[in-house]
Each structure stands twice: as structure tokens, then as C-alpha cells.
Structure 1
Amino acid sequence: MNKELQNNQRIFGLDVVRAVAITLVLFSHVYYLIDSTNPFLISISGLFGFTGVELFFVLSGFLIGSILLKMYVAHHFSKKQVLVFLKRRWFRTLPAYYLVLVLNILLAIYLGYSIEGWWRYFLFLQNFSSYHIIIFTESWSLSIEEFTYILTPLVLFFVGKFFQTNRKRSFLFVSLLLLLFFNVMRYIYYLNSSITDMEAWNLNIKSLVIYRIDAIVIGFVVAWLHYYYKDVLRKYAFYAFVISVHLFFLQFVVFNVYGFDINTKPLYFRVFYFTFSAFTFALGLPIFVYWNKANIKITKAVEFVSKISYSIYLLHYSIITVLLKYILNELQISISASLIVVIYIFITILFSYLMYRFYEKPMMKLRDK
């Protein structure tokens, strides 16, 4: 966990969430790597990828929401504090992002891919209000993260000027207002668009910053409940998790069985699908917030995956998957799909660890200075 939260003490349950999320994302692109056309594998891969990223969003919202809440209720949420928050966030995320971005650009040039609009990536504008991603496709979620880092402390700063006394209510008010705002944004889009397939849905709603920041902000509500009603949240965490599991099953299994799709339920898929998903994952988070201990070997393994998860996310697809597939095709190597997956996982973990150990970690130490 970040230094800002509980003196750098890691919470095992949150490491579990992060490890599960990155594992789901890691396996979501296997079908592409092995050239599978199996519709079930493609479908389950899509569910893995969506679930993994949404888990990251909610977890990130809880972590940065906890940091901002503690700063906000201290009654000295100044411009200097906002800048300190942004500096620490950017030291954590930008160095690794820009390194991998440059690698993506170089790889695209080498492979002869188009890099039109490459400059947008440096400002996180590749998917702000329209989709311009042609390389580094997993960067869409990072743009949403970065703009959340900017938007939320600024809104809190200005709202805090008018609510000097009741910071408890105003933080929750801001969080709920932002949730409402992005639902309204999607509803306006729904009224003025006619999406009929999931690919267009993915490019025009799911992956755009202006429609998705609420996926992170819902974690702020969990952070608020954890801060002010810790004992109550702990008491009902298991029941909330059970409800979360049932809602997940309802949304991704039952609704599919009953024929819910972009054409039969356009309002749901264009507006409320994301709210329902974020709420589902947010309900499941508290039980992990209070999961502090496990077997020492399991703890070390989970913590290891958690620590290198950001590097895995940056490297696994646009760099490692693309390069591995290119090498196999160029050398005309014929090996089993299972062996390709093993090689892919090994290479991804190896290079992710090296990037974390020799680049991410030194940058975080520099940040703390």
C-alpha cells in the first residue's frame, strides 16, 4: 500500500484484490496470443478483462479516497497539499507509464505500425472524449486514473472553501455528486447516440474518460464509510460480499441468459451497466479491507504479485504479447498453446519484476525524499 495510508503498512486483503485483478487482466489476452477463435474463451476473456480493470478502479478509488479524505477533514486542505498529493501520485504512476509508452512507440515504428496521434498519449488525451488509441491499448484505463487524480482533489479544494465546518458531509456530497454527474453524462450520450454493437460501446463509452471516472469515485464512498463507520462496515462486510457475489452472477450470467444486450436494453448498457458494476465491486471490497493476515507463504506470494502488478499491467499486452507473437510467427515456431501461455506468464512476471525492482521502486524512493 502507499506510504500515505497507515504508515506504509500493507493490508493483505487489498493485496489479494490487486493480485486477483492483475491475474484476470493477464489472462484476458491469452486468446489473442494463441490465435483462438473459441467463442467461449473470447467471451470469458472479455469478462476477465472487464472485471480486472473494474476491480483496479474501485480499489484505487478506496486508496486515494482514503488519502484525500484524511487530508480534507484536517481543515487545511490547501493548494500546497493538493500539489503534494499530485506530485506523489505522479511519481508513482508517470515514470513507468512514460517508459513503457516510449517502448511502445519504438516497437510500433519497428513493426511498421501507425503512430498517428502519438503526442496524445503524453497528455493522456488518447481517450479523453473520443477514442484515438492505436498502440498501447491498455493505456485507456490509465487516462481515467490520471484525470481522476486531477479532478477529485480540485473539486474537494473548491468545495472545501464553502464547507469549512462540516467536512464529513461535504466529502460524501462531492463523491455522490460526481457519481451522479458521470451518470448524467452517459445519459446525455444515450439520448444522442445509436450504438448497436458492443465494439462501438467499448470504444465510445466504456473506454472514455468523460464517461468513466465514477468507477473510481465509488471507492471514495467505501473510504468514507471505512473512516467514519469502521465498526459498522466491518460488522456487515461479509453480508455485503455475499450480496456482491449474487449481483455479479445476476449481471454477468442471469442477464445474459435472459437476453440482455445493447439492442434489447440500450439504456441499461449505455448508462447503468457501469454504475451497477462499480456498485457490485464496491460492495465486495470491505471484507478485503479487514483481511489483515494469512499464511506467511501465501502472504509473500500475494504481496509479490501485488507489488509488480502495475508493471505487469503496463508490459503484458502491447509489449510482451505483441513481441512474443511476432517472434513465434517470424521464426515459424510451432508449439502447443499451453506452452505458449507458460512462456508468456514467465516472461511477463520476469520483466515486470525487473522493472519494479530497478525502476519503479527507485522512483518511489525518490518521491519519498
Structure 2
Amino acid sequence: MSGQQMDPKNVPKIGVVYGAVIDSASGTPIAYASIAIINARSSTIMTGGITNEDGEFNIKEIPLGRHKIVVEYIGYKKQELGPFTFLPFGDNQTEYNLETISLSQTTLQMAGVDVEGERPLFVQTAEKRIFNVEKNSLSTGGNAIDALRQVPGIEVDPDDNVSLRGSSKVNLMIDGKPSSIAGGDVKSLLQSIPSANIADIEVMTNPGAKYDPEGMAGIINIVLKENKFAGLNGNVNTGGDSQGGTNLSGQVNYRTTSFNSFINLGMNERKRISSGNSLRTMDFATFSNSLDQVSESNSGGPNLFVKTGFEYFIDPSQSLAISTTISNGNRTSDGTTSTIDSGPGDRKFIRTTSG
């Protein structure tokens, strides 16, 4: 007997956890603490969030399964809770009230030694919320659209349209520059950027006046990886998914004390297979009628993304940079809908779409 393991991206999202985080010594709320939901078996980060200004959090759409909850904040000891089981049957729960979680401050004594800690999944600054894409394995093997789906507060519908806080009026940026600079369709651009080439996703829901935010829900800035090691460096990533999609991405970087040159590229082909069935029955005084509808669709296509650039270091704090971004995509969709009308004079209709 054998079974197939469910892709974590496709696991039903049924769980909810909520509570508050405080300082153990003073009892004051800790705002912007990071809450990560980690699968107990695979150690995969499933989702997460941050506390608000009152130290409270409410994380929804947690995937089915058995998960640990890790609470972190800079300058405090990490707190690990659970594991908790999120199942909608038996004696299990899908909602947990964690009440109050206390974090203790850490004391570090450094004598000329630089201490670097592991970056949390979320970081909150005065201006923006930063999501660490490199630390979220659910984004691995996909593209920028898949990475955006993992960021709390960002919604991506089945047609890959991006919205923030329920509004589609979002200013999307790549490395701090408007995505429109790259030309072409923004959706195709996002589909062409491999998630393996993304370092962070920054979300600004209250951007300053310099961004001309009037009428916008906020700004989403996708920060691509940059190799900061001297000399010639590079990497290659490849992957696939359960529906036959494939991707290949890589970076090549040459850096000296005076300049840095790079090329960042990716190729992927997405495939999405879906099907549906509906049956409607209507009873009348003299006859009955039923409408049985079956639909199947297959969409996808290749995407190409290339970014190349050159940066000259004027001094340690200033540089002059020029870069070019090229993206190209060709997405097609084929579908068939079969309808059987059972009643007086049985009829069958078949509709085929392509393009």
C-alpha cells in the first residue's frame, strides 16, 4: 500500500491561533514580534505573522497538520510552543487561544566580537514589514506570484491578480523601482521572476509622500538577491511541481572594490490543471429536468526574466548604478465544458475554448 504526500501549498488552510506577547519583566506588550507556524515533522515554515502595536496577534488560514509555534523578537529569547494539531475532526481543534506569551530579554557581553543572529521570518520597521522569502520553503521552486501568496496581508486570486488589504490599487516595485519600468504586463513579469532569486518582500501600507500614495492601498517591493562576495560568483537553481511545471534560475556576479556587475535570470513554465462538476435538478408538475455540467481546463506557458546591471562604488556610502530588466511570457488556456440537459428532448452541448 502506498500513498502520495500532499504538496504543502495545496493543504487546506483551516487553523487559527491568537494571543498576545509581553515582556516577562515589565509586562508591557511587545509590538511587531514575529510569529512563525512551523510543521513539526518537516520543520517547514507554513505561515506566520507579527504582533500589532498592542502586542496582539491573530493568524488565520493555518494549513492542516501538526505544527509548532515559534515567537521571536530582537533582544529576547526565542519561545517555542506546541506542537499543536490542526484537524477538523475527532477531539482535535482548528482554533487555539495561546493567551499571553512572555519573552525574556537576552544579555550579551561582546568584547570586540560581532554577533550575527538568524533573521526571523518577519521584520517590522517604522516604515515597512519585511518578509524573508529565503526562510520560507513554501516559496521554493515557484515564482514571484507563489512567494507573494505566502505573505500575510497580500492576496493573490486564481488568475494571479495581486491585491493588498482587499484593494487591487497596489504600487508594485522591483528593487525599489516601479515595475512599469521593466515594460510589458506586470502579471507576466511576476510570473517570470523565480522565487529562488528573491531575498525579501517589503510591504508598506502607509507609504510616505515621496511615493505619491494617494488612492493606493500600499506598496509591495520585491527585493532580488545580490551577491556581496568579491570575485566571480554564481549559483543555479532548478525545480518543478506536481502539475508538471518546471523552472530554472541562476545568478552570475563579478565584484571588486571599485565596481559590481551582475546578471540575474530565470526561465519557468507553469501548468495549472483544474476540473469541476455541477448537477442541478428541477421538478415541475408534469416533468423533471436535470442539468449535468463537467468542465476541464489546462493553462500555462513559458516565461523568461533577465536583469543585468553595473554598479560603480563612488565611496563606501555612495554608488552609481544602471540596470536593465527584460521579461517575456506567453500564457495560454484550453478548456472543455460538457453539458447534458436531461428532460423532454435530451440534449448535449460541448464548448471548447483555446487561447
CA radius of gyration, larger in: 2
> Greater RCO between the two (CA within 8 Å, min separation 6)?
1
Tell me the TM-score normalised to structure 1 length: 0.23
Higher helix fraction: Structure 1 or Structure 2?
1
TM-score for both structures, normalised by structure 2 = 0.24
